[in-house]
Amino acid sequence: MQTPAKILIVDDEEVVRRSYARILEGTNCKVRAAWTWMQVSELMQDDPCDVVLLDLRMPEMDGMKVLKAIRQSWPESEVIIITGYPTLETAKEALTLGAYDYLAKPVGPDQILESANGAIQHKMWALHTEPDKPDCETHGIQSAEVPGNTAESPAVIRRAS
């Protein structure tokens, strides 16, 4: 039996939290949500998540500060930044601070699933764990089929050129 991946959704908009949760609950994931730093801190202290989907701009907290705090306190957790205000500067800063991915809103279900699955795979490889624990099934998408995981992907081809 697979251990469900634990995913925390952090966004100030309830409709966004519910949408992401609906996408991920159909997979082998345990999904929780938060919208304040106090909630994030309490949930992570009680049971650290494998992946955190983190909004960059929220009224009561700065997503970059939250990213930095999560990476310092729970370095084994992967963080995916999702923002409605993408810039090259914030993307560079987020990746420098240790974010696994940086997505621009609006994001589709496939983007959420692919990024979450990639983050879980990255965590497993970093921790040298079995490839099936924890795992977030992505409705039949195998990791080799996820865009960006093959040598033929445009990103890899551009880097190699």
pLDDT tens-digit map of 94-108: 999 999 999 999 999
Contact 101, 120 (CB under 8 A): no
Query: What is the pLDDT averaged over residues 2-27?
Result: 91
Predicted pLDDT of residue 128: 64
Residue 32: which of 66, 104, 139, 42 has the closest Cα? 42
Long-range contacts of 29-35 (CB under 8 A, 24+ apart): 29/4, 29/5, 29/116, 29/136, 30/4, 30/5, 30/6, 31/7, 32/6, 32/7, 32/8, 33/8, 33/9, 34/8, 34/9, 34/10, 35/10, 35/11
Predicted pLDDT of residue 73: 96
How many CB atoms neighbour CB 146 within 10 A? 18
144 has a pLDDT exceeding 70: no
79 has a pLDDT exceeding 70: yes
H helix or E strand, kind and range, residue 30: strand 29-34
**The tokens 């865009």 sit on which residue?**
147
| Position 158 confidence tier, pLDDT thresholds 50, 70, 90 | very low
Q: In whole numbers, what is the pLDDT of the chain averaged over residues?
A: 81
Residue 108, judged by CB atoms within 10 A of its CB (0-12, 13-18, 19+), counts as exposed
Predicted pLDDT of residue 26: 78
Poorest-pLDDT segment among 23-32, 60-69, 145-154: 145-154
* CA 52 – CA 75 distance, rounded (Å): 12
* CA 111 – CA 50 distance, rounded (Å): 18
132 has a pLDDT exceeding 80: no
